[in-house]
Structure 1
Amino acid sequence: MEYKRFGNTVAVKISRGEEVMASLKQVCEKENIKCGQISGIGAAGHVVVGLYKVAEKKYYSNAFDGEMEMTSLIGNVSEKDGGVYLHCHANFAGADGRAVGGHLSEAVISGACEIFIDIADGGIGRRLDAATGLNVFDFS
């Protein structure tokens, strides 16, 4: 993984065999990013995406393997318990054009991946929302 900062924007290149979420966390820690927006595209060979069922307060994950285009990666950076907290969703399409997507847990790059992080001044924390079981923005 390589990256370069341009003011309040960071361009990230994630290479073949590297994992997206771990790479993004590493960049955010090194650059002390506490609040920002993530967007990107790329190609992956292994992904884990999921869906949160609010009524059950539980994530359900699905793993997919094979050549896939990352047609969209979007997410945000905040803080939880003093550390970086990433919340990303992504869509991936196979050669047949069928897409899978959801809450991104893992994506291993098969070709290349290009991501931008737009940094916002300040920081946003997270707190557990008892009604949903989700870690939501905490502006206090």
Structure 2
Amino acid sequence: MKYAATDEMIALRLSEGDDLGDSIAHVCRTCDVDSAVIVSAAGMVSSVTFGWYNGRDYNTETVKDIMELAVLSGNVSYRGGALYPHLHGVFNKPDHGAISGHILQAIVFNNAEVFLKPLSTVMLGRAFDGAFEALAPEKRL
């Protein structure tokens, strides 16, 4: 993995075998970024584990196939005292069929490029809202 960071943007180049979420969290910790928005991403993966929240926990499905990462969205917040990359993505298969959903894990094939926008005036946390831990944004003082 390679990255460059400023107050304005973090650019990551992930290598084969890197975990997408773990890599994002690692760079944010290293750069002292506690809140960020996923701006864009492109690349390829060799497997993705999706999670579907059923109201109690996640039903999971792992797809092991080389796919193109077409869209990545989400944010980085704090959840349970740790950085939490909340990621959703769209992946294209070789036949151009797409699969998508909430990403629990994605392993890079060859490479992936990710761009994050650090937030300096808003702190993204998580708070239990009666159903689950939802985004709880706060203005920084």
Considering the TM-score relative to the shorter chain, is it more than 0.5?
A: yes
2:78 is equivalent to residue 92 of structure 1? no
Identity score, percent: 27
What residue identity is the alignment partner of 2:12? V
For 1:117 and 1:62, the matched residues in 2 are separated by 26
What residue identity is the alignment partner of 1:46? S
Point out the more displaced range, 19-28 or 5-14. 5-14
SS in 2 for 1:27: helix
Q: 1:14 aligns to what?
A: 14
| Structure 1 segments unaligned to the other structure (5+ residues) | none
2:47 is equivalent to residue 50 of structure 1? no
SS in 2 for 1:124: strand
For 2:37 and 2:107, the matched residues in 1 are separated by 21
CA-CA distance at 1:17 after TM superposition: 1.2
CA-CA distance at 1:71 after TM superposition: 0.6
Whether the 8 Å CA contact 1:129–1:136 is kept in 2: the answer is no
CA-CA distance at 1:6 after TM superposition: 3.2
CA-CA distance at 1:52 after TM superposition: 1.6
| Structure 2 segments unaligned to the other structure (5+ residues) | none
Q: Deviations over 1:41-82 (max 9, x none)?
A: 2100111112223xx333211100111001111110111243
Cα–Cα, structure 1 residues 94 and 49, in superposed 2: closer, same or farther, change >3 Å?
same
CA-CA distance at 1:134 after TM superposition: 3.3
What residue identity is the alignment partner of 1:70? L
Q: How many residue pairs end up in the alignment?
A: 137
Whether the 8 Å CA contact 1:18–1:109 is kept in 2: the answer is yes
Q: 2:5 aligns to what?
A: 5
For 2:124 and 2:46, the matched residues in 1 are separated by 32
Whether the 8 Å CA contact 2:126–2:133 is kept in 1: the answer is no
Whether the 8 Å CA contact 2:124–2:135 is kept in 1: the answer is no
- TM-score for both structures, normalised by structure 1: 0.89
- TM-score for both structures, normalised by structure 2: 0.89
Q: 2:37 aligns to what?
A: 37
Tell me the C-alpha RMSD between the 2 structures. 1.6
CA-CA distance at 1:40 after TM superposition: 1.0
For 1:60 and 1:11, the matched residues in 2 are separated by 32
Q: Deviations over 1:98-137 (max 9, x none)?
A: 111111111111121000010111422211121x223332
Q: 2:65 aligns to what?
A: 66
